[in-house]
Amino acid sequence: MGDTTRNPVTWLGSPAFPTAAKTALADDQLRRNLKHATGLIRTKRAGAVAELADWEQLRLSGEAIKDDVLANLDTYLLRFEESVTARGGTVHWAKDAAEANEIVLRLAREAGADEVVKIKSMATMEIGLNDALQAGGVTPIETDLAELIVQLGNDRPSHILVPAIHRNRTEIRDIFKATMPGTEDLTNEPVELAAAARAFLRRKFLSAKVAVSGANFGVAETGSVVVVESEGNGRMCLTLPETLITVMGIEKLVPTWQDLEVFLQLLPRSSTAERMNPYTSVWTGVTPGDGPRNFHLVLLDNGRTDTLASTVGRQALRCIRCSACLNVCPVYERTGGQAYGSVYPGPIGAILAPQLGGDMHDKHAASLPFASSLCGACFEVCPVRIDIPSVLVHLRAKAVEAKPRYSPEAIGMAAMSWVMAGPRRFHVAQRLAVAGRLLSRGGKIRKLPFPGSKWTNSRDLPAPAKESFSAWWKRTRG
């Protein structure tokens, strides 16, 4: 058993967000790549969503279906387990990352595999499955193009949907040339890059005994599992090997088959801005003569039940991993995903990672809810209406609770609250603040000592008015 105390959902040793963001902001190429990619997908998403006149109704349904799942999670999980088992699948339960990794490794070994092909899956990234498999002597091969780019580049993911969004075509070409045999003449044309990945992976697909996948949805009523993808690597993994192991977060359920009619409209338009993604696979247990003969499903908790316990925070479990919130986030657009120090970056990551991790004493995790200007663009696009700004603020309060009671910030906040609780002290403070004009020139303050320098490094600050409005009112009208 590995370290079971630390949840790998956040990367060990990650600096607090502001520090990581500073590093990211200094990378001009990164910022250009992100601006280009997020700008493109934002416009496309808006178009795909505008096509459906009932988009808001679909969002309301999506939200309510997921709330129902969460409110009755035990019932639906048991129903799902029963359905999967009845159709020839085997269901496993994993409390945490270490346990899930152990189950997958054991199953892979029992199937006689020293290599497994993998479909991009947030759940397996979250638990650090690749490292665990590698350590256990089983080589994981990522088959999603972006995951492959990340794996071959010995890099970390930076986006939920497109983990290599921080790389442009030329950088990708260079990674392929350095790691794939027979790619000396590769150009940076996306079509050629995709063809190179196709040739490289085809042999792996044909020889693999075991595939590992995540799941976009599990249907409690039927035991069906759904994987939504684009490239066909998912279909390869779900169809060709003899054994399929699916790791699925316990919140991924929908109650009925009919419920999918909502999510199969919400997800593609929100994530890749398509009317429908190229491939969606649905399978239920084992089908004789078609696809894997052994199907194992690992139900993963890893902090989800702790998240469920928070009445404000549990809505994060509605997330269907579309990544629309990342694409519209002005903070994400400037820093990219790696600055968040988790497989879940962006606005959803800032509320999901600290909750799954469950340790607000961790300085890095505690910094994530503050990585937002609370502009609300994320909530506006969320297909399941997660009120991300409200959860951020809720988690900020948790972070403050975990801090020493007498931090300079806490003292400052308490003092300001005391001053502003009524007009008397407030008006005295306003008169005192006028002294701030001494620091100003032409009504502008250009330089303040720390922490005011955080503002004045890039912006002027207006000096307080000579006479406040309330003083003026009292003098002229009071």
Looking only at residues 98 through 157 of this chain, which bind other proteins when binding is defined by CB under 8 A?
99, 102-103, 106, 110, 143-146, 149
260-279 residues in contact with other proteins (CB under 8 A) are 260-262, 264-265, 268, 272, 274-279
| In the complex, minimum distance from the CB of residue 352 to other proteins, in angstroms, rounded to a whole number | 16
| In the complex, minimum distance from the CB of residue 167 to other proteins, in angstroms, rounded to a whole number | 8
| In the complex, minimum distance from the CB of residue 348 to other proteins, in angstroms, rounded to a whole number | 17
Stretch touching other proteins by CB under 8 A, among 4-12, 129-137, 233-241, 345-353: 233-241
Candidate list 169, 179, 242, 294; residue touching other proteins; CB under 8 A: 169
How many CB atoms within 10 Å of residue 188? 14
Answer yes or no: are the C-beta atoms of 461 and 437 closer than 8 Å: no
393-412 residues in contact with other proteins (CB under 8 A) are 393, 396-400, 409-410
Candidate list 178, 309, 428, 435; residue touching other proteins; CB under 8 A: 309
Does 240 sit near other proteins (CB under 8 A)?
Answer: yes
Does 454 sit near other proteins (CB under 8 A)?
Answer: yes
Six-digit token string for 134: 């590698």
Candidate list 182, 408, 442, 449; residue touching other proteins; CB under 8 A: 442
Total number of residues that touch other proteins (CB under 8 A) = 169
Candidate list 114, 258, 293, 435; residue touching other proteins; CB under 8 A: 258
| In the complex, minimum distance from the CB of residue 401 to other proteins, in angstroms, rounded to a whole number | 8
Tell which phi-psi region holds residue 323, choosing left (phi > 0), alpha (psi between -120 and 50) or beta: left
310-349 residues in contact with other proteins (CB under 8 A) are 311, 314, 330-331, 334-335
| In the complex, minimum distance from the CB of residue 280 to other proteins, in angstroms, rounded to a whole number | 4
Site string for other proteins, 1-30 (x = CB under 8 A): ----------------xx--xx--x-----
Contacts of 28 (CB under 8 A, 6+ apart): none
Candidate list 10, 14, 280, 342; residue touching other proteins; CB under 8 A: 280
Does 193 sit near other proteins (CB under 8 A)?
Answer: yes
| In the complex, minimum distance from the CB of residue 337 to other proteins, in angstroms, rounded to a whole number | 13
Q: Which is nearer to other proteins, 78 or 135 (CB)?
A: 78
Q: Which is nearer to other proteins, 162 or 343 (CB)?
A: 162
Q: Which is nearer to other proteins, 365 or 463 (CB)?
A: 463
| In the complex, minimum distance from the CB of residue 185 to other proteins, in angstroms, rounded to a whole number | 18
Does 470 sit near other proteins (CB under 8 A)?
Answer: yes
Candidate list 129, 356, 371, 382; residue touching other proteins; CB under 8 A: 371
Candidate list 13, 28, 74, 438; residue touching other proteins; CB under 8 A: 74
| In the complex, minimum distance from the CB of residue 81 to other proteins, in angstroms, rounded to a whole number | 8
Stretch touching other proteins by CB under 8 A, among 4-12, 129-137, 302-310, 350-358: 302-310
Does 446 sit near other proteins (CB under 8 A)?
Answer: yes
- The C-alpha angle with vertex 272 and arms to 227 and 252, in degrees rounded to 5, equals 35
SS3 letters across the chain: CCCCCCCCCECCCCCCHHHHHHHHHCCHHHHHHHHHHHHHHHHHHHHHHHCCCCHHHHHHHHHHHHHHHHHCHHHHHHHHHHHHHHCCCEEEEECCHHHHHHHHHHHHHHCCCCEEEECCCHHHHHCCHHHHHHHCCCEEEECCHHHHHHHHCCCCCCCCCCCCCCCCHHHHHHHHHHHCCCCCCCCCCHHHHHHHHHHHHHHHHHHCCEEEECCCEEECCCCEEEEEECCCHHHHHHHCCCEEEEEEECCCEECCHHHHHHHHHHHHHHHCCCCCCCEEEEEECCECCECCCEEEEEEECCCHHHHHCCCCHHHHHHCCCCCHHHHHCHHHHHHCCHHHCECCCHHHHHHHHHHHHCCCCCHHHHHHHHCCCCCCHHHHHCCCCCCHHHHHHHHHHHHHHHCCCCCHHHHHHHHHHHHHCCHHHHHHHHHHHHHHHHHCECCEECCCCCCCHHHHCCCCEECCCCCCHHHHHHHHCC
Q: Which is nearer to other proteins, 179 or 239 (CB)?
A: 239
* Residue 34 to residue 235: CA distance in whole angstroms: 29
| In the complex, minimum distance from the CB of residue 139 to other proteins, in angstroms, rounded to a whole number | 19
What CA–CA distances, in Å, run from 8 to 124, 266, 314, 323, 414? Answer: 11, 29, 20, 20, 35
Q: Which is nearer to other proteins, 156 or 398 (CB)?
A: 398
Q: Which is nearer to other proteins, 6 or 440 (CB)?
A: 440
Candidate list 7, 14, 61, 216; residue touching other proteins; CB under 8 A: 61
